[in-house]
A and B are shown apart, each in its own frame.
Chain A
Amino acid sequence: MYSVLWEPMGDGKRVISLADNQALLWDLQESPTKATVSSTATLEGKGQLKFTSGKWSPHHNCSQLATANDTAIRGWDLRTMSQIYCVENAHGQLVRDLDFNPNRQYYLASCGDDCKVKFWDVRNVQEPVKTLEEHSHWVWSVRYNQSHDQLVLTASSDSRLILSNMVSISSEPFGHMVDDEELSEGEDNPQEEKVKEPLKDSVVSTYEEHEDSVYAAEWSSADPWLFASLSYDGRLVINRVPRALKYRILL
């Protein structure tokens, strides 16, 4: 068994578990203590294929699942348990983790053992939209910030945690746009067109407080500017997004 995923929206009645080459969808509706398997999906192919990670897509009414096995990423439709898309050779080596962009329906981030983080548009799986190569060893986890999806956190076994600002593929490539109605009516100034240049993607900061490989990183669900990372030696480090960036995103 590799992992257990809860349904992102809804009332928590459905769970997926990934085990070996099977993804099992459990239904908890009938009774709080018993779960029944409502459907399964099996990985077909030569050799011993195993799921290595998976993520439930929060879009499309929670009907999609993305899984990784070896170097391919597959998408599944949970209503029919069939494969929707397959990104072959997503990474040179093993794909370690996946994450969906909470604000854009078709965007997916993946990280792998080739030290790269790739962003995909699942409508066109031939080429990644963007590739990051900031780490110098395997990237173990990639996470989008749930409210501001330009902030992406990546943790790697080169003992570093990197926070990147992927503005160009986020839902706000031009920064925060002010709606016309929000301007006060009393203003006599003619409304100017706020033409901003798209901000550039960049690495916001690199956190090197860990002495060993960082295996997991997560955003806080209470405060969108707080995140934590865990490393092999048991150290948990909690950090904040730098203030300058926070104000730039907010204002």
Chain B
Amino acid sequence: MATNSGRRRKVHGMLKLYYGLDEEGKISEKSQSLDPCDINGPHFDPELYLNKLRRECSLAELMDQETCMVKQIRSLDSDMQTLVYENYNKFISATDTIRKMKNDFKKMEDEMDCLSANMAAITDFSANISGTLQDQHAQITKLSAVHTLLRKLQFLFELPARLNKCLELKAYAQAVSFHRRARCVLQQYSHLPSFKGIQDDCHAIMDMLAQELRQRFRDGGTSAKDLSECVELLLQLDEPAEELCDKFLSHARSRLEADLSLPSPTPNTDILEFIDRGCNEFVSSLCLVIASYQELFISHAQTGELASKNIPQMANRKLHVFVDDLAAQYFSLVERRIQEEKGVSDNSLLVRALDRFHRRLQAVSKLLPSSTVPNQGTEIVIRAATERVKQYLAALQSFYMDSLTDVRQALAAPRLSVAGGTGLPELLSILSASILNQIKSVLASVHLFTAKDITFSNKPYFKGEFCSQGVRESLVVNFIKFVCQSSRQFCESAGDKGGSTPPALLLLLSRLCLDFETSTISYILTLTDEQFLVQHHSPVTPVTILCTEAREAAQKLLNHYVKVQGLNISQMLRKSVETRDWVNTIEPRNVRAVMKRVVEDATSIDVQVGLLYEEGVRKPHSSDSSKRTFSVYSSSRQPVRYAASYTPSAPMDTNLLSNIHKLFSERIDIFSSVEFNKVSVMTGIIKISLKTFLECVRLRTFGRYGLQQIQVDCHYLQMYLWRFVSDENLVHFLLDEIVGSCAHRCLDPSPMEQSVIEVICERG
């Protein structure tokens, strides 16, 4: 058992040694030890080992060694078994393969033997044959040569008859090939009378043949294939190539022109259909003609006996001229049709038609690389695209004007309550939303021109200039400019001619332009830039310029609105001052109706503006604003009251005092630019109205009660108008001025008591 285990260990050890592995699986360098007691060594001797163990180790150690060995044995066993099980199949197949190899080698050996036997037989036979035929070899060759010569002669003699038959059967190609074969020989031996006779006959027949071919050629033939056949044969018959080219081209031209003339009479066809028909008929026939022409005259001519005649260049030239001419005719037709295409509702049809047109023309360029036809086609597409963009611009503009008309109608219609649908903010939002939507849809339609699946979208024009100049500049920027410009026109035209632009429209437009400036313009332009990646470096209008323009337009509109509304109120005040007899009026009992009307109008304007604009900043007012008295007036008027006589110095005092007061108060700018908030707008309007009132008052003469009536009116105005303006001192100042001027113009200035005025105002 010990020897067994030792042997097994030897196997395992040999395995390990063989693979150079130790327990961790690493390959280790183990030197071969010569020790016979080394279990893993190659010179292991079990007897010596056991003796050594018995001598050296104690019982416990022996036991340990034994268990250890048993363990190792077991593990080795299991290792070996697993190895065998795993590689079982491989062992079997290895044995099979070896068996097969043995068999195959056996077979090959047999075949080789057979082969060598056959080779020996063949050598014997061949030696036999060459021996027998040696003598007749030369005779046989001579005979076969004579035989071929006779055959050729026979062919020649039969040639005329054969040619005639071919002529009858209309097998022209065959005839020509026959003739060609014989031509050189006949030429060479034409001095022999028999040959001459044959040659003459053949010539006559070939002439007839050529005539027939020419006839067929002239007649146009039934198809391009026939035509090309004729041409080929004629070329082989030495016809002058130029004539053939010309005739061929003229035939093709007449056919193609027939194609061209068909589409024009029907004007109502879809553009896609039109282009389709044109492409399918004309362009494909043109391509066919080009291809066959090239094959016949250019590529064929480069081989064979015609190569020396310089045909290709001449043919090429003619071809180019021909193609250009016909293409020009076709293009003019196409352009005319495209120009008729006016409707902007659906762009996709036009784009698809142009795409097909362009794609088909590429086929021509493939056939004729140096032709200008595809470029012209691209030009046509470009022109169509620009035209389309212009049409879209016009459509956008008319849409805008239409929406403005709608807004005007909505404003003119009896207005429902503010909560209803025709309030100003709703109208504004509807208008701006519809404009934005329209722009987006137009951009989407135009975007079709640059879609990825369109063949011409890769041309440099469409990638660059179309996007930046065509779309961004001509369409979007121009439209925005148009909006600003038309808004400005509302300011100008409505002025002198008594135009009927409702003030609400002016307000709406100014708010629209302001919104454009703050958000809409940059949004639209970013959208455009995203959709049409602008790569061109031509100058584009920056967003800031457009925004400034929009802001200017908004400012102008707002100024005009203020003017118009101010004018309305001023007219009322003016009429009221001019048409009344101020000298003989009675004591005032109540506030005049005009003033109440003015306050009502001011309130309604305030509400209207408040719908669209923010409140704005106001100077903080003092608590007793509505109860303020006319301090300047009363202080300056005091001396006059107590003066017994109306001395000339008294007016000077009052003047001096009032002037000094004016020096220290701020001057009022009547028509200054208004800001974009409600308070500023109202201030402007009220300034205009009060100034008018002032000027009118200065032109009339007042009696005592006239002055008192003005006092009452001004107090009433002061009670209500202060809350609309940004700085209430403004209103006070102007009203003071009014009363002061009135006092100057008064024949008998005796102002009313303040308390009485207040009572009247509160009652009225």
Q: Are A233 and B655 in contact (CB under 8 A)?
A: yes
Q: Are A137 and B495 in contact (CB under 8 A)?
A: no
Residues of B contacting A77 in the complex (Cβ-Cβ under 8 angstroms): none
What are 15 A-B pairs at a CB distance below 8 A? Answer: A91-B496, A93-B567, A114-B496, A136-B670, A138-B695, A157-B691, A157-B695, A158-B669, A158-B670, A159-B667, A211-B662, A212-B662, A213-B695, A233-B658, A234-B655
Nearest CB in chain B to that of A156: its residue: B670
Q: Are B672 and A136 in contact (CB under 8 A)?
A: yes
CA distance A115 to B671 in the complex (A): 10
The interface bits of chain B over 692-722 (1 if a CB of A lies within 8 angstroms of the residue's CB, else 0) are: 0001001000000000000000000000000
Q: Counting CB contacts under 8 A, is B754 at the interface?
A: no
Residues of B contacting A91 in the complex (Cβ-Cβ under 8 angstroms): 496
CA distance A211 to B567 in the complex (A): 24
Task: Given A114-B495, A158-B669, output 5 extra A-B contacts at Cβ < 8 Å.
Answer: A115-B671, A157-B691, A211-B662, A211-B667, A232-B741
CA distance A218 to B592 in the complex (A): 39
Q: Counting CB contacts under 8 A, is B441 at the interface?
A: no
Q: Counting CB contacts under 8 A, is B663 at the interface?
A: yes
Q: How far is the CB of A155 from chain B (nearest CB, A)?
A: 13
Residues of B contacting A: mostly:
helix
Known: A157-B695, A211-B659, A211-B663. A137 touches B671 (CB 8 A): yes
The interface bits of chain A over 231-244 (1 if a CB of B lies within 8 angstroms of the residue's CB, else 0) are: 01110000000000
Number of residue pairs A-B, CB distance < 8 angstroms:
41
Q: Counting CB contacts under 8 A, is B55 at the interface?
A: no
Residues of A contacting B537 in the complex (Cβ-Cβ under 8 angstroms): none
Interface residues on B, range: 20 to 34
Q: Counting CB contacts under 8 A, is B137 at the interface?
A: no
CA distance A232 to B658 in the complex (A): 12
Q: How far is the CB of A5 from chain B (nearest CB, A)?
A: 20
Interface centre among B655, B658, B691, B741 (most CB of A within 10 A): B691
Residues of A contacting B317 in the complex (Cβ-Cβ under 8 angstroms): none
Residues of B contacting A232 in the complex (Cβ-Cβ under 8 angstroms): 698, 741
Nearest CB in chain A to that of B695: its residue: A157
Nearest CB in chain B to that of A137: its residue: B670
Q: Counting CB contacts under 8 A, is B497 at the interface?
A: yes
The interface bits of chain B over 565-586 (1 if a CB of A lies within 8 angstroms of the residue's CB, else 0) are: 0010000000000000000000
Known: A211-B659, A232-B698. A158 touches B671 (CB 8 A): yes
Known: A92-B496, A114-B496, A136-B669. A233 touches B659 (CB 8 A): yes
CA distance A198 to B127 in the complex (A): 123
Q: Are A136 and B671 in contact (CB under 8 A)?
A: yes
CA distance A115 to B695 in the complex (A): 14
- For chain B, residues 638 to 678, give those with C-beta under 8 angstroms from any C-beta of chain A: 655, 658-659, 662-663, 667, 669-672
Q: How far is the CB of B498 from chain A (nearest CB, A)?
A: 8
CA distance A217 to B698 in the complex (A): 18
CA distance A232 to B496 in the complex (A): 29
Residues of A contacting B495 in the complex (Cβ-Cβ under 8 angstroms): 92, 114
CA distance A115 to B669 in the complex (A): 14
Q: Counting CB contacts under 8 A, is A89 at the interface?
A: yes
CA distance A248 to B495 in the complex (A): 37
Residues of A contacting B695 in the complex (Cβ-Cβ under 8 angstroms): 138, 157, 213
Residues of B at the A interface (CB closer than 8 Å) are: 495-498, 567, 655, 658-659, 662-663, 667, 669-672, 688, 691, 695, 698, 741
Nearest CB in chain A to that of B691: its residue: A137
Residues of A contacting B662 in the complex (Cβ-Cβ under 8 angstroms): 211-212, 233
Q: Are A89 and B672 in contact (CB under 8 A)?
A: no
Residues of A contacting B669 in the complex (Cβ-Cβ under 8 angstroms): 136, 158
CA distance A157 to B693 in the complex (A): 12
Q: Are B496 and A89 in contact (CB under 8 A)?
A: yes
Nearest CB in chain A to that of B688: its residue: A137
Residues of A contacting B667 in the complex (Cβ-Cβ under 8 angstroms): 159, 211
Nearest CB in chain A to that of B698: its residue: A232
CA distance A231 to B1 in the complex (A): 146
- For chain A, residues 124 to 156, give those with C-beta under 8 angstroms from any C-beta of chain B: 135-138
The 3 closest A-B pairs by CB, nearest first: A136-B671, A137-B670, A211-B662
CA distance A213 to B667 in the complex (A): 11
Nearest CB in chain A to that of B741: its residue: A232
CA distance A135 to B691 in the complex (A): 14
CA distance A121 to B283 in the complex (A): 66
Nearest CB in chain B to that of A158: its residue: B670
Nearest CB in chain B to that of A208: its residue: B667
Residues of B contacting A234 in the complex (Cβ-Cβ under 8 angstroms): 655
Q: How far is the CB of A206 from chain B (nearest CB, A)?
A: 13
Q: How far is the CB of A218 from chain B (nearest CB, A)?
A: 20
Q: How far is the CB of A15 from chain B (nearest CB, A)?
A: 24
Residues of A contacting B691 in the complex (Cβ-Cβ under 8 angstroms): 137, 157
CA distance A89 to B497 in the complex (A): 8
Q: How far is the CB of B408 from chain A (nearest CB, A)?
A: 22
Q: How far is the CB of A161 from chain B (nearest CB, A)?
A: 14
Q: How far is the CB of B239 from chain A (nearest CB, A)?
A: 74
Q: How far is the CB of B13 from chain A (nearest CB, A)?
A: 117
Q: How far is the CB of A96 from chain B (nearest CB, A)?
A: 10
Residues of B contacting A89 in the complex (Cβ-Cβ under 8 angstroms): 496-498
CA distance A162 to B667 in the complex (A): 17
Q: How far is the CB of A16 from chain B (nearest CB, A)?
A: 22
Residues of B contacting A211 in the complex (Cβ-Cβ under 8 angstroms): 659, 662-663, 667
Nearest CB in chain B to that of A90: its residue: B496
Q: How far is the CB of A46 from chain B (nearest CB, A)?
A: 17
CA distance A213 to B695 in the complex (A): 9
Q: How far is the CB of B178 from chain A (nearest CB, A)?
A: 91
Q: How far is the CB of A214 from chain B (nearest CB, A)?
A: 12
Q: How far is the CB of B744 from chain A (nearest CB, A)?
A: 9
Residues of A contacting B658 in the complex (Cβ-Cβ under 8 angstroms): 233
Q: How far is the CB of B633 from chain A (nearest CB, A)?
A: 15
CA distance A114 to B498 in the complex (A): 12
Q: How far is the CB of B609 from chain A (nearest CB, A)?
A: 21
CA distance A115 to B241 in the complex (A): 88
Residues of A contacting B698 in the complex (Cβ-Cβ under 8 angstroms): 213, 232
Residues of B contacting A157 in the complex (Cβ-Cβ under 8 angstroms): 691, 695
CA distance A36 to B658 in the complex (A): 46
- For chain A, residues 44 to 81, give those with C-beta under 8 angstroms from any C-beta of chain B: none
CA distance A26 to B567 in the complex (A): 39
CA distance A138 to B698 in the complex (A): 14
Residues of A contacting B655 in the complex (Cβ-Cβ under 8 angstroms): 233-234
Nearest CB in chain B to that of A89: its residue: B496
Nearest CB in chain B to that of A94: its residue: B574
Residues of B contacting A135 in the complex (Cβ-Cβ under 8 angstroms): 671
CA distance A154 to B508 in the complex (A): 35
Residues of B contacting A212 in the complex (Cβ-Cβ under 8 angstroms): 662
Q: How far is the CB of A245 from chain B (nearest CB, A)?
A: 26
The interface bits of chain A over 215-240 (1 if a CB of B lies within 8 angstroms of the residue's CB, else 0) are: 00000000000000000111000000
Residues of A contacting B496 in the complex (Cβ-Cβ under 8 angstroms): 89, 91-92, 114
Residues of A contacting B741 in the complex (Cβ-Cβ under 8 angstroms): 232
Q: How far is the CB of A121 from chain B (nearest CB, A)?
A: 17
- For chain A, residues 72 to 119, give those with C-beta under 8 angstroms from any C-beta of chain B: 89, 91-93, 114-115
CA distance A114 to B655 in the complex (A): 30
Q: How far is the CB of B667 from chain A (nearest CB, A)?
A: 7
CA distance A92 to B695 in the complex (A): 17
Residues of B contacting A138 in the complex (Cβ-Cβ under 8 angstroms): 695
Residues of A contacting B659 in the complex (Cβ-Cβ under 8 angstroms): 211, 233
